[in-house]
Amino acid sequence: MDATDTLMHDGDGEIVTSTEFTAAPSSFENGLPANGMVGAPSVAVALKPDGVKRDNDLSDYDIIPLKDAPKPPKFEHLPYATAQTGLIYDVRMRFHVEAIPTEDDVHPEDPRRIHAIFEAFVQAGLAWRESTSGPLTDYYMGRIDARMVTEEEVLLVHTKAHWDWVQSLSSRTADELEDYMQHDGQERLDSVYLSPSTPYCAALSAGGAIEACRATLLGKVKNVFAIIRPPGHHAEREDAKGFCFFDNVSIATKACQREFGSACRKVLILDWDVHHGNGIQQANYDDPNVLYISLHVHESGRFYPELSYRDKRGPYGDHLHCGEGAGLGRNVNIPWSRKGMGDADYIYAFQQVVMPIATEFDPDLVIIAAGFDAAEGDMLGGCKVTPAGYAHMTHMLMSLAGGKLAVCLEGGYNLDSIARSATAVSRTLMGQPPDRLEHTNPSTSGVDDIKEVLRQQSKFWTSLYPKDLSARLAGPQQGERMHDVIRNWQATTLWDDYQMSPLFVHRESLSKSFEKQVLAT
Q: Which residues are catalytic?
A: 234
Q: 25: buried, middle or exposed (CB in 10 Å: 19+, 13-18, 0-12)? A: buried
Span near Zn ion by CB under 5 A; candidates 15-23, 141-149, 212-220, 406-414:
406-414
Span near Zn ion by CB under 5 A; candidates 154-162, 399-407, 409-417, 499-507:
409-417
Site track for Zn ion across 315-354, x = CB under 5 A: ----------------------------------------
302/201 Cα distance (integer angstroms): 30
Buried b (16+ CB within 10 A) or exposed e, 365-378: bbbbbbbbbbbbbb
| C-beta of 145 vs 373, nearer to Zn ion | 373
Q: Is 275 in the site for Zn ion (CB under 5 A)?
A: yes
- Smallest gap from Cβ 452 to Zn ion, in A, equals 22
Query: Total binding residues for Zn ion by CB under 5 A?
Result: 5
Span near Zn ion by CB under 5 A; candidates 55-63, 76-84, 272-280, 383-391:
272-280
| C-beta of 25 vs 279, nearer to Zn ion | 279
478: number of Cβ within 10 Å: 10
- Smallest gap from Cβ 404 to Zn ion, in A, equals 25
Question: Where is 30: in which H helix or E strand?
Answer: helix 23-31
For residue 394, CA distances in Å to 157, 251, 366, 419, 433 come to: 26, 22, 10, 16, 10
Residue 167 near residue 199 (C-beta atoms within 8 A): yes
**Cis omega (within 30 of 0) for bond into 230:** yes
138/391 Cα distance (integer angstroms): 23
Residue 250 near residue 283 (C-beta atoms within 8 A): yes
Q: Is 487 in the site for Zn ion (CB under 5 A)?
A: no
| C-beta of 27 vs 414, nearer to Zn ion | 414
| C-beta of 246 vs 461, nearer to Zn ion | 246
- Angle at 331 (CA atoms; ends 328, 336), nearest 5 degrees: 140
Closest to 317 measured CA to CA, from 279, 283, 276, 353: 276
Span near Zn ion by CB under 5 A; candidates 213-221, 248-256, 363-371, 444-452:
363-371
- Smallest gap from Cβ 202 to Zn ion, in A, equals 17
For residue 504, CA distances in Å to 144, 437, 516 come to: 64, 64, 8
Total residues belonging to the chain? 521
- Tell me which residue has its CB nearest to Zn ion: 411
- Smallest gap from Cβ 473 to Zn ion, in A, equals 41
Residues paired with 196 in a beta bridge:
none
| C-beta of 143 vs 234, nearer to Zn ion | 234
Span near Zn ion by CB under 5 A; candidates 222-230, 266-274, 347-355, 443-451:
266-274
- Smallest gap from Cβ 414 to Zn ion, in A, equals 12
- Smallest gap from Cβ 273 to Zn ion, in A, equals 4
For residue 478, CA distances in Å to 52, 274, 343, 489 come to: 62, 38, 40, 20
Site track for Zn ion across 95-114, x = CB under 5 A: --------------------
Span near Zn ion by CB under 5 A; candidates 13-21, 128-136, 325-333, 365-373:
365-373
Q: Is 373 in the site for Zn ion (CB under 5 A)?
A: yes
Q: Which of 371, 377, 387, 446 binds Zn ion (CB under 5 A)?
A: 371
| C-beta of 305 vs 329, nearer to Zn ion | 305
Q: Is 196 in the site for Zn ion (CB under 5 A)?
A: no
Q: Which of 411, 434, 442, 446 binds Zn ion (CB under 5 A)?
A: 411
- Smallest gap from Cβ 350 to Zn ion, in A, equals 19
256/207 Cα distance (integer angstroms): 12
| C-beta of 273 vs 364, nearer to Zn ion | 273
Closest to 370 measured CA to CA, from 410, 317, 419: 410
Q: Is 273 in the site for Zn ion (CB under 5 A)?
A: yes
- Smallest gap from Cβ 242 to Zn ion, in A, equals 7
109: number of Cβ within 10 Å: 21
| C-beta of 68 vs 373, nearer to Zn ion | 373
20/101 Cα distance (integer angstroms): 12
> Could you tell me how many helices (H) and strands (E) the chain has, helices first?
18, 10
Residues of this chain that interact with Zn ion (CB under 5 A) are 273, 275, 371, 373, 411
